Amino acid sequence: MAASAESLGAFLIGGYLGPLAILAVVLASAAIAGVAGRLVRISLLLTLPIAISVVLVSVFTRAGTHVLFSIGPFDATTEGVDFAGQTLVRLLAISTSIGLFGLTTDPRSFVLDLERRGLSSRFAFVALATLEAVPAMVERAGVIQAAQRARGLDTEGSVRARLRGVLPLVGPVILSSLTEVEERSLALEVRAFGRPGRRHLLWRVPDSGAQLAARAALLAVLLLSIGARLAGVFPSLP
Amino acid sequence: MLELRGASYRYAGYAKEVLHDVDLRLDDGEIVGLVGPNEAGKSTLCLVASGLAPASIGGTLRGTLTIDGVEAAGLATHELAERVVVGFQNPNTQRSGIAATVFEEVALGPMNLGLPVEETVERTREAIARLKLEPIVRRDPQRLSGGQSQLVGIAALLAMRPRHVILDEPTAQLDPAGTRLVGEALRALAGMGTSLLVAEHKTDLLDGLCTRVVAIDGGRIVRDGPAREILDDPALAELGVEPPARARLSRALAGLGVDAELVAATAATEAGS
Amino acid sequence: MTEAPTGTSVAVEGLVHVYPGGTRALDGVDLAIAPGEGVAIVGQNGSGKSTLVRHLNGLLRPTSGRVLVAGTDAAGRRVAHLAATVGLAFQDPDRQIFARTVRAEVSFGPRNLGRRGTKLERAVDAALDATGLVADAEANPYDLGYSRRKLLALASVLAMETPVIVLDEPTTGQDARGVARVEQIVASLAAAGRTVIAISHDMRFAAESFGRIVVMRDGRIVADGSPAEVFAEPAWPTLASTFLEPPLAARIGARLLLGSTPTEASLVTAVTGSV
């Protein structure tokens, strides 16, 4: 919830002030949660590709009067730099908000809490199964690799040898996954996963009054910002 | 009571039937052993007896399956799940893939049945105790050994307290201790009125456990009778079924003055007791 | 078997293996297996059997201790290289089968070891013959039932004609015919002088097909000897401590005060002798 509010806020408030304020809030929260370092690394990593293209495009093609320098037919203007700067900060605000969500939320708890609040149990199952799918595949691939290596498949030699070794690994991983699908879905039916209706979950994600208040406050700020934007309180977006 | 009458089954997309005119009856409190060579139709029979064939996997079933007086043909898969469970031997496919701990994995069945939380927890605890899984309740189900996974899979089914339990090679991955454990758990269940069908190669296990034994070959029931009688039949080996050690040794020692009862008694007690 | 090399020795000295999570799966194991020996390794799940044998071809490396294959240290030798000496047949055939035909699957191993032409074909043919899969040579592996897929996995290692062959639970999930065939295969390997090591939960299979039984518990060897020694009555408490039971033949022999009779044949002989 916080992530969405903050991302929208970044757009609504405009200028540098809004996004920077949000960035500050996010980083502070991250520091409290102990993930500040990872957050900064991940956000920069994710934002960099977009950022580079945005900066290049904006700096050189934004309509403006005050030219700083030129490369060929392209003029870099202060307006362009200004726009690039604002966009960059917004991007960072969004990516850090979402990043913070990703780093501090346990996906299982998230899905289970959604189910408790009304998400269909089938949908919850698919979401959870997808989360587990990769580790399960990795494990399976490990077993298969051991069996193939025991038959002389060389995975420690030259790069070419390793590449040649891919098919005997990929084949069984996919094949065994597929052949197991029918038996797996049968096993699920046996355990009544197909039963319509709600179920009484064993888990309850802890939710405190403080969190509830925080969510309410964020929502209020968001709504106020929307109002203010519409009323023309904020400087217009370039 | 679970009863199959004149059941003939053909998998979806296949021309030939793999079960032919099968009659099978499971009374409450009975443990029936199912033996036969691989590819004789044991697994298919387990699927058909559970109603999942054709309810879940399709295919064509001729004949009838009646569970506690109700015709299975009209039941949805989750309605079948409330009455009969079937477990298969591959622990990887029996795992849900979404449980974080063994406790959760076992609890999923009762939870899915829409039971209140206290009931779910109680049934889960009971199933875990039956299979002595307490030491591993907090472990990640993905990280267990094949044997542990198999025990967890069985517990997950038992937690649903079904009236009828069908197990296809439940001890395939287990060591002798695990095999004995499963045998005890199944015996306890039967004592409470559950009816069980257990397909196994380990005739030694069936020897001490089952009241009746059914043998299948080429999709047909070729033997159906009291366990001792069927397992002692010298022709069992020709059917591709390994006789229990007790039967084999009794026969080998028969002409040498060693009483079959002594062999049976030795088989029944544990070494050193 | 064809003109395959005869067996070779394998040994482990003070072998300790600790898994990344901290589990001490092997707690100082000493085991020396001579060329041509047939050894069955038994023990509860978790006793370290699988961990131990995976050191023999380098899939696992010691945390401390040594692994010797054919007299030389296995450290620093690649798995693909050790596989030419130690073949390992895994328990689950579906976690290795990848080829479109049975023949192609069986050819994978020897091909990796550099066999070509008639040598390759002969090795494959011999393996198919030993496992009863000649008629299925061109079939798709997944058209075979589980029993025969397991035999296929075994064939694919037999075809590599390694001096040492390790079988992980070869009879699990097999019906009577399958078990009989595995017993036949073990017997011919032994007759050809190969070193055969099997992990098994089947005490009867172990006693009947192997000349030496090694019992493991909690990462250590607690008993090591012939079936007659390991399944003799004085050794029963050791077996019980790891929740294993001696084969019925041994228990009857003890009951009848005939000494140690771990196999049906030895029991019958003893009974006949005492009459």
Distance CA C265, CA B208 (A): 24
Nearest CA in chain A to C60: A146
Residue C98, pLDDT > 90, answer no
Specify the pLDDT at position C1: 44
What pLDDT, on a 0 to 100 scale, did the predictor assign at position C247?
92
**Contacts of residue C108 in chain A, CB cutoff 8 Å?**
148, 151-152, 168
Question: Model's pTM, two decimal places?
Answer: 0.84
- Chain C's closest residue to B39, CA to CA, is C145
Instruction: Check whether residue A11 and residue A65 sit in a common domain.
Output: yes
Please check whether residues A98 and A216 belong to one and the same domain.
yes
Asked whether the beta carbons of residue A148 and residue C57 sit closer than 8 angstroms, the reply is no
Residues A81 and A150 both lie in one domain: no
Interface B–C counts its CB contacts (< 8 A) at: 108
Helix axes of C146-158 and C102-112: crossing angle, nearest 10 degrees:
30
Q: Report DSSP letters for B119-175, one per residue.
A: HHHHHHHHHHHHTT-GGGTTS-GGGS-HHHHHHHHHHHHHTT--SEEEEESTTTT--
Residue B177 to residue C264, Cβ atoms within 8 A: no
Same domain (yes/no): A9, A55: yes
Tell me which of C85, C97, C98, C111 to substitute to probe the interface with A (most A C-beta atoms closer than 10 Å).
C98
Examine the domain organization and report whether A123 and A101 are in the same domain.
no
Average pLDDT over residues B150-174: 93
DSSP assignment of chain A: -HHHHHHHHHHHH-TTHHHHHHHHHHHHHHHHHT-HHHHHHHHHHHHHHHHHHHHHHHHHHS--S-EEEEETTEEEEHHHHHHHHHHHHHHHHHHHHHHHHHHHS-HHHHHHHHHHTT--HHHHHHHHHHHHHHHHHHHHHHHHHHHHHHTT--SSS-HHHHHHTSHHHHHHHHHHHHHHHHHHHHHHHHTTTT--S----S------HHHHHHHHHHHHHHHHHHHHHHHT-SPPP-
In a domain, A129, yes or no: yes
Q: What is the 3-state secondary structure (H, E, C) of C124-168?
A: HHHHHHHCCCHHHCCCCHHHCCHHHHHHHHHHHHHCCCCCEEEEE
Percent of chain C with pLDDT over 70: 98
* Res A139: pLDDT: 81
pLDDT of residue C2: 47
Calculate mean pLDDT across residues B73-92.
89
From chain C, the residues in CB contact with A156 under 8 A are 78-80
Let me know if B121 is exposed, middle or buried by CB neighbors in 10 A (0-12, 13-18, 19+): middle
* Least confident among A35-39, A178-182, B27-31, C72-76: A35-39
Same domain? For A27 and A89 the reply is yes
Chain B residues inside the 8 Å CB shell of A199: 111-114
Residue where the block lists tokens 């209020």? A220
Residue A45 reports pLDDT greater than 50:
yes
Q: Does pLDDT of C150 surpass 70? A: yes
Question: C173, B270: Cβ pair inside 8 Å?
Answer: no
| Residue B272: band (very low, low, confident or very high) from pLDDT cuts 50, 70, 90 | low
Q: Which residue has the higher pLDDT, A221 or C82?
A: C82
Please tell me the predicted confidence (pLDDT) of residue A17: 61
Q: How confident is the model at residue A86 (pLDDT cuts 50, 70, 90)?
A: confident
Residue A137 CB coordination number (10 Å): 13
Start-to-end CA distance of chain B, whole Å, equals 38
Q: Quote the domain boundaries for residue A152.
A: 119-190
Q: Flag whether A236 is in a domain.
A: no
Residue of A137, A138, A145, A151 to mutate, testing the C interface (most C Cβ within 10 Å of its Cβ):
A151
Task: Tell the burial category of C259 from Cβ atoms under 10 Å away from its Cβ (0-12, 13-18, 19+).
Answer: middle
Kindly give, in sequence order, each residue whose CB lies less than 8 Å from that of residue B16, ignoring residues fewer than 6 positions away: B10
Cβ pairs bridging A and B (under 8 Å): 102
Q: Which residue has the higher pLDDT, B206 or A234?
A: B206
**Cβ separation C142–A152 shorter than 8 A:** no
Is it the case that residue B241 has pLDDT exceeding 70? yes
The top-scoring range by mean pLDDT among B60-69, B142-151, C94-103 is: B60-69
DSSP class of residue B270 equals P
Amino acid A72: pLDDT: 74
Q: What is the dihedral of CA C98, C101, C104, C109, to 10 degrees?
A: 50
Mark residue C32 as left, alpha or beta (left: phi above 0; alpha: psi -120 to 50; beta: remaining). beta
CB < 8 Å from A in window 142-161 of C: 142, 156-157, 160
**Six token digits for residue B223:** 């033997």
- What mean pLDDT value characterizes chain C? 92
Say if CB A204 and CB A116 are below 8 A apart: yes
By 3-state DSSP, what share of chain B in percent is helix, strand and coil, each rounded to 5? 45, 20, 35
| DSSP three-state, residue B205 | helix
**Does A201 map to a domain?**
no
ipTM field: 0.86
pLDDT band at B151 (very low <50, low <70, confident <90, very high): very high
Judgement on whether residues A144 and A87 belong to the same structural domain of the protein: no
Over residues B233-250, mean pLDDT: 90
Structural contact between residues C196 and C38, judged by C-beta atoms closer than 8 angstroms: yes
What are φ and ψ of residue A169, in 5° steps? -95, -45
Kindly state whether residue A111 falls inside one of the protein's structural domains.
no
Between the two ends of chain A, the Cα-to-Cα distance in Å is: 28
Cβ contact A12:A225 at 8 Å:
yes
Largest CA distance in chain B: 62
Cβ contact (<8 Å) for A200 and B116? yes
User: C184-198 burial by CB neighbour count: b if 16+ within 10 A, else e?
Assistant: ebbeebbebebbbbb
Is residue A182 in some structural domain? yes
Lowest mean pLDDT among B59-68, C3-12, C53-62: C3-12
**Chain B residues with CB-CB distance to A132 below 8 A:** 97-98, 142
Confidence band of A158 (pLDDT split at 50, 70, 90): confident
- Whether chain C has a CB inside 8 Å of the CB on A165: the answer is no
Per-residue model confidence as pLDDT tens digits over C155-211: 999 999 999 999 999 998 888 889 999 999 999 999 999 999 999 999 999 999 999
Flag whether residue C51 sits within 8 Å of chain A, measured between CB atoms: no
Please determine, for residue B271, whether its predicted confidence score (pLDDT) is greater than 70. no
How large is the average pLDDT for residues C10-32? 93
- Listed in sequence order, the residues at least 6 apart from B194 whose beta carbon sits closer than 8 Å to its beta carbon are B28, B29, B162, B163, B164, B165
Secondary structure E strands in B37-142 = 60-67, 70-71, 84-87
Sequence length of chain C is 275
pLDDT of residue B10: 94
Contact check, Cβ <8 Å, A153/C113: no
Q: How are strands ordered across the β-sheet holding C24-33?
A: C24-33, C10-18, C64-69, C72-73
Mean pLDDT for chain B overall: 91
pLDDT at A7 > cutoff 70? no
Q: pLDDT band at residue A11, thresholds of 50, 70 and 90? A: low
Mean pLDDT value across residues C203-231: 95
Lowest-pLDDT range of A59-73, A111-125, B129-143: A59-73
Please tell me which chains touch B, using 3 or more CB pairs under 8 Å as the contact test.
Answer: A, C
Rounded to a whole number of angstroms, the distance from the CA of C204 to the nearest CA of chain B is: 9
Instruction: Give the mean model confidence (pLDDT) for residues C11-19.
Output: 94
d(CA C35, CA C169): 21
Tell me, yes or no, whether A237 lies in a domain. no
Same domain for A159 and A46?
no
Listed in sequence order, the residues at least 6 apart from B97 whose beta carbon sits closer than 8 Å to its beta carbon are A128, A129, A132, A133, A136, A184, B142
Give B266's contacts in chain C (Cβ within 8 Å): 248, 251-252, 255
Phi/psi of residue A137, nearest 5 degrees? -65, -40
Chain B residues in contact with A182 (beta carbon < 8 A): 57
Asked if C272's CB is within 8 angstroms of B256's CB, the reply is yes
Check residue B203 and give its pLDDT: 93
Chain B residues whose beta carbon lies within 8 Å of the beta carbon of residue C46: 145, 147
d(CA A83, CA A99): 24
The answer to whether residue C221 scores a pLDDT higher than 80 is: yes
* Number of domains into which chain A is organized: 2
Mean pLDDT of A95-122: 78
Q: Do C245 and B271 touch (CB under 8 A)?
A: yes
DSSP C27-85: EEEEEEE-TT-EEEEEE-TTSSHHHHHTTTTTSS--SEEEEEETTEE-TT--HHHHTTT
User: Which residue type sits at B208?
Assistant: G
Nearest CA-CA distance, residue C17 and chain B, Å: 17
Query: Any CB–CB contact under 8 A between A175 and chain C?
Result: yes
- Give the mean pLDDT of A84-103: 78
Contacts of A172 in chain C (CB under 8 A): 94-98
Contact C172 B266 (CB under 8 A): no
CB neighbours of B169 closer than 8 A, spacing ≥ 6? B88, B89, B199, B200, B201, C173
Residue with tokens 């899984």: B133
β-partners of residue A76 are A69
Please answer whether residues C61 and C82 qualify as being in contact, where contact means their C-beta atoms are separated by less than 8 angstroms: no
Angle between helix B117-130 and helix B102-112 axes, rounded to 10 deg = 130
Among C54, C99, C109, beta carbon nearest to A152: C109
Averaged pLDDT for residues C9-13: 94
Interchain proximity B253–C268, CB inside 8 Å: yes
Instruction: Tell me the chain B residues in contact with residue C236 when contact means C-beta distances shorter than 8 Å.
Output: 271-272
Closest residue of chain C to A139, computed from CA coordinates? C95
- A129 contacts in chain B (CB < 8 Å): 96-98
- The highest-confidence range among A100-109, A193-202, C130-139, by mean pLDDT, is C130-139
Angstrom CA distances, A91 to A26, A62, A100, A101, C90, stand at: 13, 18, 14, 15, 52
Task: Tell me which residues of chain B, numbers 45 to 104, contact chain A at a CB-CB cutoff of 8 Å.
Answer: 47, 50, 52, 56-57, 76-78, 81-82, 85-88, 90, 92-98, 100, 104
pLDDT over 80 (residue A79): no
Tell me: do A223 and A137 sit in the same domain. Answer: no
Whether A65 shows a pLDDT value over 80: the answer reads no
Residues in chain A: 238
Identify whether residues A99 and A148 lie together within a single domain. Answer: no
Pairing of strands B164-168, B60-67: unpaired
In Å, how far are A173, B7, B37, C134, C188 from C155, measured between CA atoms?
21, 37, 21, 11, 13
Q: Are residues A94 and A40 in the same domain?
A: yes
> Does the pLDDT value for residue B35 go beyond 70?
yes
Same domain, A153 and A42: no
| pLDDT tens per residue across span B178-197 | 999 999 999 999 999 999 99
Compare CB distances from B93 to A129, A183, A193 and report the shortest one's residue: A183
How does residue A162 score in pLDDT terms, banded at 50, 70 and 90?
A: confident
Q: For residue C227, is the peptide bond before it cis, meaning its omega torsion is within 30 degrees of 0?
A: no
Q: Is residue A112 part of a domain?
A: no
CA A36 to each of CA A23, A25, A33, A41, A69: distance values in angstroms, whole numbers, following the listed order: 12, 12, 8, 9, 37
Contact call for A190 and B96, based on CB within 8 A: no
- Chain B hits for C43, CB-CB cut-off 8 Å, are 175
H or E segment and range at residue B265: helix B260-268
Q: Which residues of C touch B (CB under 8 A)?
A: 43-46, 91, 145-148, 172-179, 201, 203-204, 233, 236-237, 239-240, 243-252, 255-256, 264, 267-268, 271-272, 275
Q: What is the pLDDT of residue C214?
A: 97
Burial of residue A23 (number of CB atoms within 10 Å: 0-12, 13-18, 19+): buried
